[in-house]
Structure 1
Amino acid sequence: MHNEPLAFRMRPLTLDEVVGHQDFIGPTTALYKMIHNGHVPSMLLYGEPGIGKTSIANAIAGSSKLPFFALNATRAGKKDVEDIVQEARISGKVLLFLDEIHRFNKLQQDTLLPHVENGSIVLIGATTENPYHDVNPAIRSRCGEIYQLKRLTIENIIALIQKALADDKRGLGKYHFALTEKQIELIAGAANGDARKALTLLESIYYASDEVDGQTIAADHIIEHLSSRIGVYGDKKGSHFYNLLSALQKSVRGSDTNAALYYLAHLLEIGDLVAVSRRLLVMAYEDIGLANPATGPHVLAAVQAAERLGLPEARIPLANAVIEMCLASKSNSAIVAIDAAIAAIHEGKTGDIPHHLRDAHYGGAKDLGHVGYQYPHHTPIGTFGGWVDQQYLPDELVGTEFYQPVIAGEEKRMAGIYEKLKSFHQHKK
């Protein structure tokens, strides 16, 4: 058996061997044609681990025939970069694949960037983090395109597994390893779009299989056991994690219960209960808001229960909270209103607090004119409680409305009260 892992051996050697990603590097794309015509542009490849960034860089190198070097920004030092710069001077042009490019420090950049700019080094950077957030603008500006790679489909992964099973030189072809169509589909599904996971799992299954009559046969229970042990991709600080949080909130906001539960499940598998709980609380007040005021306390209770229970039991109260929010009436009027008030302050729309609203709990307040406040509770108005017609906003802002009710759920009743009180009010511009 080979010393290198199967996932390493099966990396494509040319663009025509790339599985998936045909939308940006397939034979009909501009990038494919440029490379085959001898022009390789600097670029950034952005996507999840195992999605094919390194494989594509290798394939580009194999198709371009440029001298190829690979560095990882977390381990490379200034000397490594200087060596490649020197090679570029000798060869005229080299291709550099820089993995984890978002970790590139300023000293490395200062050494490399002038040579990327003059074209002697063609840079292919790879990152799992959003390049607009985490990659230095100086690097981004020198890379003509940023390609966001999509997760491979099950069909792509099946094609990759079949290719590995058939390949006599780099794959498992010469070992007479047989898998049924159903077994291949199970492996492909477990890989969840990750080519590296698929090939690593395939190799593990091979080693756990038995040889029968000259043929290696994998037992179903072995495949099911190993497939179930594949972890969900994601970490607590990466871009994918924040994308999951965003997808959860947008699914709840869109009242899609099943999508929201899917993203909640993914987040809980990653294991950051604190971040998930915090986001759920925000959503209760940002997206459900005044349309269903009881939702906030309900979600808080669910979050507190989850914190006491811990995972895996925490999934139960949190699922309750997510389903309730999905199916609740929704209003964002509160966040829109407070953001409008904050924006007004930033725009300089301020004024003096009316004298009758200022603190008067001290001797001398009357001498300063802090008088005239009318206590609303002394003037009942129907079943509402108490209300008096007096000015609360500064003179410069009288008549300004930050709050615009959403006619939904419980807020419909509140909107009626709001409009009624406005009709009583005489302090308008």
Structure 2
Amino acid sequence: MKPLADRLRPKKIEDMIGQSHIIGEGKVLNKIIKNKSIPNMILYGPPGTGKTTLANIIANATGKKYVKLNAVNCGVKEIKEVIESAKQDLFSFNGIILMLDEIQAMNKKQQQALLEVIEDGSVTLIASTADNPYFVIYKAILSRSSIFEFKTIDKNDIYKGLKRAVKKLPEFYTYDYINIEDEALKAIAETCNGDMRTALNKLELAFNLGIDIAANSVYITLDTVLESSNTKILSFDRGGDDGYSILSAFHKSLRGSDADAAIHYLARLVKAEDMQGITRRLLCVASEDVGLAVPQAITITEACVSSALQLGFPEARIPLAQATVYLAQCPKSNSVVTAIDLALEDLDNIETGDIPLHLKDAHYSGAKDLGRGVDYKYPHDYPNNYVKQQYLPESIKNKKYYTHGNNKNELAFKHFWDNLKK
């Protein structure tokens, strides 16, 4: 028997759960299906959000022959063979829709060869991927396709989908009595991570546990759901779009001084045990975003990172959380990253000139004959260990890369040097 999720797969766009931003009344995909003018498409988003279901609906609505393949277990040769076979029946259909799951599994050369299949217009490609298409799909295919992003489904929509599924259960089962508590459905919706397929799988498992053979009935309570699956599976692909997005949110929350948000995203990363991702972000924030506002931040952060690496998970979460809360609360300054980036930009775009002769290495015989180091002034020979002299190359001698940040530490240094240089 097919899984419940397959048996309940919607046949019409109106029956789909979620994705109202693209399939709702008047939205782009809704119009495309009604007009039956289907472009090549890339459907991009997390598992269980309706990508395959939508491809089925499109094929049914347009009267095209539907061919579904998975790029994980087939190559271009197999795709071409299936397409050629499908073309034998084209007199009965208005073209072919090729639904290609997991297109990111095909390498660049395979994707290039796939162009031949879709170039003549007889085949419409609908490819799906959970990875960011701009990272994993060949540009020539992207340029010939419309990209639609599917989002995780809101738990309230998942709950509505489960209620609808419960009403259909008597169509598949012959039990005298089926009763499923509302709290049980809400618990499933809460723990399925926006994945409708996962929600229906959880419902099916709880259904099987709730069967009373003697009474020929099914009764599902909250306890039944908790017994069948009490762990919420988080979506995290370390090398994929979701993983990068969590790391980005973590970094930006630290930069934005929101300790609660930073701890939340840290918890996601801890769940995934992404030690490298966490520690890289923390060390980067300590210099990029806190910088000279709190110069000791990098030292404290490094100590926390070192402790975490020695402890390992699960204890590593504690020093990582310490560094996270500390960095979120630190005053912020991006003066150092701004300074180095301006200097690097000049190296790429303008002629910066030669190093002044008095600064060049003079620790070898004959250096003085070349004029190197001759006019150098040793600052420690002067009052307050400072003497004015030119350090930048002549062509950029008036360039200013570093600007003091508006914080206590950097302003104190600015005050010191302003007074001294007067």
Paired residue type of 1:120? S
Shift in Å, 1:325: 1.2
**Judging changes above 3 Å, is the alpha-carbon distance between structure 1 residues 271 and 171 closer, same or farther for their aligned structure 2 residues?**
farther
Q: Which moved more, 1:37-46 or 1:149-158?
A: 37-46
Equivalent residue, structure 1, for 2:151:
150
**Judging changes above 3 Å, is the alpha-carbon distance between structure 1 residues 43 and 171 closer, same or farther for their aligned structure 2 residues?**
farther
Equivalent residue, structure 1, for 2:406:
407
Distance 1:125 1:247 in 2: 28
Q: Which moved more, 1:283-292 or 1:30-39?
A: 30-39
The equivalent position to 1:67 in structure 2, one of 50, 65, 68, is 65
Alpha carbons 1:287, 1:330 under 8 Å: kept: yes
What TM-score does the superposition give when structure 2 sets the normalisation length? Answer: 0.92
**Judging changes above 3 Å, is the alpha-carbon distance between structure 1 residues 94 and 331 closer, same or farther for their aligned structure 2 residues?**
same
Equivalent residue, structure 2, for 1:209:
210
Shift in Å, 1:127: 1.1
Paired residue type of 1:93? G
Equivalent residue, structure 2, for 1:268:
270
Alpha carbons 2:44, 2:128 under 8 Å: kept: yes
Shift in Å, 1:105: 3.3
Q: Which moved more, 1:362-371 or 1:173-182?
A: 173-182
Distance 1:10 1:415 in 2: 68
Equivalent residue, structure 1, for 2:25:
27
Shift in Å, 1:240: 0.6
Paired residue type of 2:37? H
**Judging changes above 3 Å, is the alpha-carbon distance between structure 1 residues 172 and 266 closer, same or farther for their aligned structure 2 residues?**
farther
Paired residue type of 1:192? N
Alpha carbons 2:254, 2:328 under 8 Å: kept: yes
Equivalent residue, structure 1, for 2:138:
136
Shift in Å, 1:285: 0.7
1:357-368 residue pairs with structure 2 within 5 A?
Answer: 357-368=359-370
Equivalent residue, structure 2, for 1:342:
344
The equivalent position to 2:115 in structure 1, one of 113, 121, 131, is 113
**Judging changes above 3 Å, is the alpha-carbon distance between structure 1 residues 101 and 175 closer, same or farther for their aligned structure 2 residues?**
farther
Q: Secondary structure at the match of 1:228?
A: coil
The equivalent position to 1:320 in structure 2, one of 319, 322, 330, is 322
**Judging changes above 3 Å, is the alpha-carbon distance between structure 1 residues 114 and 296 closer, same or farther for their aligned structure 2 residues?**
same
Shift in Å, 1:367: 1.8
Alpha carbons 1:376, 1:387 under 8 Å: kept: yes
Equivalent residue, structure 1, for 2:234:
232
Equivalent residue, structure 1, for 2:375:
372
Instruction: Provide structure 2 residue ranges, at least 5 long, that are not aligned to the other structure.
Output: none
**Judging changes above 3 Å, is the alpha-carbon distance between structure 1 residues 240 and 170 closer, same or farther for their aligned structure 2 residues?**
farther
Q: Which moved more, 1:200-209 or 1:180-189?
A: 200-209
Q: Secondary structure at the match of 1:216?
A: strand
Equivalent residue, structure 2, for 1:308:
310
**Judging changes above 3 Å, is the alpha-carbon distance between structure 1 residues 166 and 420 closer, same or farther for their aligned structure 2 residues?**
farther
Distance 1:171 1:412 in 2: 73
1:40-189 residue pairs with structure 2 within 5 A?
Answer: 40-86=38-84, 87-88=86-87, 90-91=89-90, 93-106=95-108, 108-143=110-145, 145-168=146-169, 176-189=177-190
Distance 1:418 1:48 in 2: 55
Equivalent residue, structure 2, for 1:246:
248
Deviations 1:396-416 (A, max 9, x none): 110101112220242222333
Distance 1:221 1:169 in 2: 22
**Judging changes above 3 Å, is the alpha-carbon distance between structure 1 residues 171 and 262 closer, same or farther for their aligned structure 2 residues?**
farther
Alpha carbons 1:166, 1:172 under 8 Å: kept: no
Alpha carbons 2:175, 2:218 under 8 Å: kept: no
Paired residue type of 2:202? L
Paired residue type of 1:65? G
Deviations 1:145-173 (A, max 9, x none): 21111110011110111122111477668
Alpha carbons 1:45, 1:125 under 8 Å: kept: yes
Q: Secondary structure at the match of 2:9?
A: coil
Alpha carbons 2:404, 2:414 under 8 Å: kept: yes
Q: Between the two proteins, what is the percent identity of the paired residues? A: 37
Instruction: Provide structure 1 residue ranges, at least 5 long, that are not aligned to the other structure.
Output: 425-429
Aligned residue pairs total 416
Equivalent residue, structure 1, for 2:10:
12
Deviations 1:385-427 (A, max 9, x none): x211011111111010111222024222233345556x54xxx
Equivalent residue, structure 2, for 1:192:
193
Alpha carbons 1:9, 1:170 under 8 Å: kept: no
Shift in Å, 1:123: 1.0
Q: Secondary structure at the match of 2:388?
A: coil
**Judging changes above 3 Å, is the alpha-carbon distance between structure 1 residues 189 and 415 closer, same or farther for their aligned structure 2 residues?**
farther
Distance 1:413 1:225 in 2: 61
Alpha carbons 2:180, 2:221 under 8 Å: kept: no
Distance 1:177 1:110 in 2: 52
Alpha carbons 1:89, 1:120 under 8 Å: kept: no
Equivalent residue, structure 2, for 1:394:
393
Q: Which moved more, 1:187-196 or 1:73-82?
A: 73-82
Alpha carbons 1:183, 1:220 under 8 Å: kept: yes
Q: Secondary structure at the match of 1:109?
A: helix
Equivalent residue, structure 2, for 1:427:
none
Q: Secondary structure at the match of 2:202?
A: helix
